[in-house]
Amino acid sequence: MGGYHRGAGRAIGIITLVVSAVLGSVYLLGRSLTPDPSHTDSTVTSTGADHPEYADQAAPAPTASGATPTGIPDTGPKPPDHLTAPEHDDDPNFGPMGTRVSTGTNSVALTFDDGPHPDYTPQVLSILREHHVTATFCVVGQNAQAYPWLIQQIVAEGHTLCNHSWNHDVTLGSRSPERIRSDLIRTSAAIRAAVPDAPIGWYRQPGGAWTYSVISVARDLGMMPLHWTVDPGDWRAPGATKIAASVVGGVGPGSIVLLHDAGGNRQGTVDALYRILPTLTSRYAVLALPKRGT
């Protein structure tokens, strides 16, 4: 009898160990299949992750449906009220989170991001001058600091300036409000080092990666968040023909067009302007956005 009980005890112990091992494996498997919540940022609407330093990620303009620019409703937690921006629900000139997506008139606005650049910005300015067109330049702080004479030329020729962050940090909106504020102030300071009284009424987040925090800080600094309506993908350098066809075919009254004068080889964008401007100016007034964001 004693041997029987000892044998039964050993069997029960072995079974217990096997069951524990199986349950442990199931638990570990479940953990491996569960996303790590610490790696998500529910307030970011479009990452622009392909090019973290330059070249804005193609991000569709926000829509009135409540979807973010990626088309996915932003259902994540929102920051406190003092870090949120008005949504302008009844105003078609604004998208969700308060980003500007239209000129508000029948005019069309060309915007040039990531500059200034000593090779491409002077060419863009020359073509705009030839066609009596003004535009909006969303400048990167590092480039404004490196090429102050181009900032001076942009302003002297009647164009509008827009803050585009210090070094094109697509993830800036996910950082602390203090970090965002420091970045935007540093960028505006570099612009004003070239043109001390330059009005900077607009802010465009690299990659269109808008968050409530970055919009709130921009507004608090007196800048309107600026998105776009037409993105020809010129940052991919598809060639002048494709860029021009996309812009001419996509523009309508009130459109804001996203183009680039830096961040890569932008000769295709420069050449496309020779095809774009004669058509657009025959149909619309092509004007810079107001120097004070509205």
pTM for this model (two decimals): 0.75
Q: What is the mean pLDDT of the chain?
A: 79
Which segment, 35-39, 59-63, 277-281, is predicted with the most confidence on average? 277-281
pLDDT value, residue 241: 98
Catalytic residues: 113, 260
pLDDT value, residue 93: 85
Tell me the H-state helices in the chain. Answer: 2-33, 121-130, 141-146, 148-156, 177-194, 212-220, 240-250, 267-283
Which segment, 19-28, 85-94, 238-247, is predicted with the most confidence on average? 238-247
Taking the C-alpha atoms of residue 236 and residue 294, their distance in angstroms, rounded to an integer, is 30
**Joined tokens for residue 292:** 């004070």
Taking the C-alpha atoms of residue 164 and residue 204, their distance in angstroms, rounded to an integer, is 5
Between 95 and 233, where is the model more confident?
Answer: 233
Between 77 and 129, where is the model more confident?
Answer: 129
* % of the chain at pLDDT higher than 70: 69
**293 pLDDT band (50/70/90 cuts)?**
confident
Residue 88: burial class (beta carbons within 10 Å; 0-12, 13-18, 19+): middle
> Is residue 290 reached through a cis peptide bond, with omega within 30 degrees of 0 on the bond before it?
no
Q: Does the structure show a pLDDT above 90 at 136?
A: yes
Between 232 and 12, where is the model more confident?
Answer: 232
Residue-wise pLDDT for 282-291, tens only, equals 999 999 999 9
pLDDT value, residue 20: 44
pLDDT value, residue 88: 58
**Joined tokens for residue 229:** 């309506």
pLDDT value, residue 98: 86
**For the chain, how long is the longest CA-to-CA vector?**
107
Taking the C-alpha atoms of residue 196 and residue 112, their distance in angstroms, rounded to an integer, is 21
**92 pLDDT band (50/70/90 cuts)?**
confident
**Which residues have C-beta within 8 Å of that of residue 243, sequence separation ≥ 6?**
232, 233, 234, 259, 268, 269, 272, 276
Q: Does the structure show a pLDDT above 70 at 4?
A: no
**82 pLDDT band (50/70/90 cuts)?**
very low
DSSP-assigned beta bridge partners for residue 67: 73
Residue-wise pLDDT for 156-175, tens only, equals 999 999 999 999 999 999 99
Taking the C-alpha atoms of residue 259 and residue 277, their distance in angstroms, rounded to an integer, is 13
Taking the C-alpha atoms of residue 278 and residue 28, their distance in angstroms, rounded to an integer, is 64
**90 pLDDT band (50/70/90 cuts)?**
low
**86 pLDDT band (50/70/90 cuts)?**
low
**115 pLDDT band (50/70/90 cuts)?**
very high
> 256-260 and 109-113: which strand pairing?
parallel
DSSP-assigned beta bridge partners for residue 108: 286
Half-sphere exposure of residue 284: CA atoms within 13 angstroms, side-chain side: 23
Domain 81-283, CATH: 3.20.20.370
SS3 of residue 139 by DSSP = strand
